[in-house]
Structure 1
Amino acid sequence: MATNITWHPNLTYQERSELINQKGATIWLTGLSASGKSTIACALEQLLLKEKVTAYRLDGDNIRFGLNKDLGFSEKDRVENIRRIAEVSKLFADSCSIAVTSFISPYREDRDKARELHLNSNLKFIEVFVDVPLEVAEKRDPKGLYKKAREGVIKDFTGISAPYEAPIKPEIHIRTDLLSVEESALQIYNYLKEHNVL
């Protein structure tokens, strides 16, 4: 841990928000693989951008191939993966952007730490439980991961050989076996409007 560092103060969040006329927040989508998180995150990002709201999506594609390419899928690496994502999304929120994160983030404690990190800086953290029955997720299985997990090819696969701890009180609960992608993204967008984030 570095000890020879000093925080350099700059604009406050309030000053930044007033200058660009936008508030920041992190929208944290969590759920099983193939629940629809990334698809909804893409749709929400596009919806926000069309409304001239600065937003950026963080998911396995742009995090695991870059910032977190040194991490595997052990419990320790999953914890570190989520810790880093929480820190990055906090920076986006502090910049008055909307960070849309899409990660399984299977452990409740890790998501709670991400929430606490934001709340300690007076930043909005909105947990979205992208919920789908396991059998529906397995039937979708776009990358064939469940099949490989059932065959023992993939070890520590969330929902099969590794746990998923569902949120207890998410701000938003979406059942993707009952709603379309567009309806799901709109549900989040409407929440942001109703709670004065947009």
Structure 2
Amino acid sequence: RKGDTLPDWFTMPTIAKYLKEIYPPLKDRGFTIFFTGLSGAGKTTLAKMLMVKLIEHGKRRVTLLDGDIVRTHLSNELGFSKEHRSINVQRIGYVASEITKNGGIAICAPIAPYEADRIKNRQLISQYGIYIEIYLSTPLEVCEHRDIKGFYLRARHNLTPSFTGIDSPYEIPKNADIVLDTSTATAEDLTNKIYDKIKAMGCL
């Protein structure tokens, strides 16, 4: 399943060729990068910078599934109840799984506040390729300070109900593959760190 080349003595050439088609090397398979974290944690910034770097250094197609983009074009009928948040994240997971299955790279950047939804996405996408979950642990106070659109301010004044991190919970990932605090390093340094990790995993 890892795509390793089988020795000639191990199996017949026709079977080896068939297995290679089913289980290509990791560097030829699709994979998903799934950012999660509070609003303002830096998900979109890192996702866009990583997308550019992957396009510059590879041949596979890269698709960005940013939280705002998905809300506008794929989940515009959904609200922000727990049920609707879960549906939104699962839709992102399904699209990412199709991209991964067809050899592309999906970069997802929703808030994705619930652990159960993130686990479902990992299980689904891992059937087709590598799934890398990146938790941005940027502190709430930093996220609020960055909030140029005033989302947190409105939530603090009870003008935006069920806002994640204020009056709606964010469940910290238990098994994130990478944990980064964007208040402790530059976006460029963190992007390079993520890229190096992907490369070390054999995906590039």
Task: Give the TM-score, by structure 1 length.
Answer: 0.88
Question: What's the counterpart of residue 93 of structure 1?
Answer: 100
Q: Could you tell me how far 1:183 is from its partner in structure 2?
A: 1.1
What letter matches 1:90 in structure 2? Answer: S
- 1:9-48 to structure 2, matched below 5 A, reads 15=21, 22-48=28-54
Aligned to 1:103: 110
Q: 1:86-165 to 2 correspondence within 5 Å?
A: 86-119=93-126, 121-165=127-171
User: 2:98 is aligned with what amino acid?
Assistant: L
Q: CA deviation at 1:142?
A: 2.4
Q: CA deviation at 1:137?
A: 0.6
Identity across matched positions, percent: 37
Deviation at 1:16, TM superposition (A): 8.4
In structure 2, the CA distance between the partners of 1:13 and 1:185, relative to structure 1 (3 Å rule), is farther
Asked whether the equivalents of residues 22 and 97 of structure 1 are also in contact (C-alpha less than 8 Å), the reply is: no
- Structure 2 CA distance for aligned equivalents of residues 43 and 180 of structure 1: 12
Residue number in structure 2 paired with 1:8: none
- TM-score, normalised by the number of residues in structure 2: 0.85
Deviation at residue 33 of structure 1 after TM alignment? 0.3
Alignment check: 8 A CA contact 1:13 1:94 kept: no
Q: Figure out how many residues of one structure are paired with residues of the other and give that number.
A: 184
Are 2:87 and 1:80 aligned? yes
- How much does 1:65 deviate? 1.1
Distance 1:155 1:70, change over 3 A: same
The aligned counterpart of 1:6 is none
Unaligned runs of 5+ in 1: 1-11
* TM superposition shift of 1:68: 0.9
List per-residue Cα deviations over 1:163-189 (Å, max 9, x = no partner): 001111211111100011111111111
Structure 1 stretches of at least 4 aligned residues deviating more than 2 Å after TM superposition:
12-18
Q: Is this contact kept in 2: 1:24–1:94, CA < 8 A?
A: yes
Distance (Å, rounded) in 2 between the aligned partners of 1:96 and 1:142: 37
Cα deviation per residue 1:125-157 (whole Å; 9 max; x = unaligned)?
110001111111111112210000001110000
C-alpha change, 1:97 and 1:122, in structure 2 (3 Å) is closer
From 185, 190, 195, give the equivalent of 1:184: 190
Q: Contact (CA 8 Å) 2:36, 2:136: kept in 1 or not? A: yes
